Amino acid sequence: MLSRQRQLQTKLHKLLDAFLFGIAFWLAHWVRSLPLFEVRILDFSAYRWLLLVIVPLAPPVLELGGFYRRPLLFSRADTLWQLVKGATWISFAFITMLFFSKQEGARGLPFLFIPIAAGLVMAKEELARRWSRARFGRNASRRRVIVLGSPTRGARFSGETDQLEDALRIGSLGDIEVVAHADLGKTKPNELANLLHDTSANAVIISPRQALFGDIEQAIQICELEGVEVWLLADFFQTRLSQASADDLNGNPVLVFRTGPDASWQALAKTAIDFVGAVVLLVATSPVLLCAALAVKFTSPGPILFRQQRAGLNGQPFTMLKFRTMVTNAEQLKQELAQLNEMSGPVFKVTNDPRITKIGRYLRRYSIDELPQLWNVLNGDMSLVGPRPLPVDEVKHFDDPAHRRRLSVKPGLTCLWQISGRNNVKDFGEWVRLDLEYIDNWSLWLDIKILIRTVPAVFVGAGAK
In three state form, how does the secondary structure of 394-443 look? HHHCCCCHHHHHHHHCCCEEECHHHHCCHHHCCCHHHHHHHHHHHHHCCC
> In degrees rounded to 5, what are phi and psi of residue 384?
-65, -35
Closest CA to 93 of 69, 70, 124, 117: 117
Residue 255 near residue 232 (C-beta atoms within 8 A): yes
350 CB contacts (<8 Å, ≥6 apart)? 337, 340, 341, 342
52 CB contacts (<8 Å, ≥6 apart)? none
Q: How far is 87 from 80, CA to CA, in rounded Å?
A: 10
Burial of 419 (0-12, 13-18, 19+ CB in 10 A): buried
Closest CA to 223 of 253, 184, 263: 184
Output the pLDDT for position 164: 37
Q: Report CA-CA distances (Å) from 197 to 194, 419, 433.
A: 5, 30, 21
Output the pLDDT for position 35: 62
Output the pLDDT for position 72: 57
163: helix, strand or coil: helix
Q: How far is 232 from 253, CA to CA, in rounded Å?
A: 8
Q: How far is 97 from 109, CA to CA, in rounded Å?
A: 14
Does residue 248 lie in a domain region? yes
189 and 79 assigned to the same domain: no
Q: Report CA-CA distances (Å) from 221 to 19, 203, 257, 409.
A: 45, 13, 10, 18
Closest CA to 90 of 117, 66, 108, 125: 117
Residue 126 near residue 187 (C-beta atoms within 8 A): no
Which contiguous run of DSSP H or E holds residue 244?
strand 244-249
Residues β-bridged to residue 321: 307
430 and 306 assigned to the same domain: yes
349 CB contacts (<8 Å, ≥6 apart)? 341, 342, 343, 423, 426, 465
Domain boundary residue, one of 198, 230, 257:
257
Output the pLDDT for position 288: 93
335 and 226 assigned to the same domain: no
Number of independent structural domains in the chain: 3
Domain boundary residue, one of 257, 291, 316:
257
Output the pLDDT for position 7: 77
Q: How far is 184 from 445, CA to CA, in rounded Å?
A: 40
Does residue 464 lie in a domain region? no
Domain boundary residue, one of 68, 99, 133:
133
394 and 410 assigned to the same domain: yes
66: helix, strand or coil: coil
CATH number for 243: 3.40.50.10700
447 CB contacts (<8 Å, ≥6 apart)? 270, 273, 384, 385
Output the pLDDT for position 161: 44
164 and 288 assigned to the same domain: no
Does residue 75 lie in a domain region? yes
387 and 313 assigned to the same domain: yes
Q: Could you say which DSSP state residue 285 is in?
A: T
39 and 174 assigned to the same domain: no
Q: How far is 258 from 267, CA to CA, in rounded Å?
A: 14
Does residue 400 lie in a domain region? yes
Does residue 98 lie in a domain region? yes
357 CB contacts (<8 Å, ≥6 apart)? 299, 300, 324, 325, 326, 327
Does residue 108 lie in a domain region? yes
Q: Is the pTM of this model over 0.85?
A: no
Q: How far is 202 from 412, CA to CA, in rounded Å?
A: 17
Output the pLDDT for position 421: 60
Does residue 465 lie in a domain region? no
Does residue 353 lie in a domain region? yes
Domain span including residue 354: 265-459
242 CB contacts (<8 Å, ≥6 apart)? none
205 and 343 assigned to the same domain: no
Q: How far is 111 from 197, CA to CA, in rounded Å?
A: 59
Residue 454 near residue 384 (C-beta atoms within 8 A): no
Output the pLDDT for position 148: 81
32 and 167 assigned to the same domain: no
Output the pLDDT for position 151: 54
410 and 280 assigned to the same domain: yes
Q: How far is 225 from 404, CA to CA, in rounded Å?
A: 7
Angle (deg, nearest 10), helices 286-299 and 358-365:
160
Closest CA to 187 of 171, 166, 208: 208
Output the pLDDT for position 47: 72
413 and 276 assigned to the same domain: yes
154 and 72 assigned to the same domain: no
Output the pLDDT for position 38: 53
pLDDT tens over the chain, length 465 residues: 566 677 788 888 899 999 999 999 888 888 777 665 555 555 666 677 888 888 898 999 898 888 887 765 567 888 888 899 999 998 888 888 777 767 665 566 778 888 999 999 999 988 887 776 666 555 666 778 888 876 554 444 444 444 433 432 332 334 677 888 888 878 888 888 888 888 888 888 887 665 567 788 888 888 888 888 888 776 555 444 345 777 777 667 777 877 777 777 888 889 889 999 999 999 999 999 999 999 999 988 889 999 999 999 988 899 999 999 888 877 777 777 767 766 666 777 777 778 888 898 889 888 899 999 999 999 989 999 999 999 898 888 887 777 888 888 899 999 887 777 655 666 778 888 888 889 888 888 899 999 988 888 777 665 555
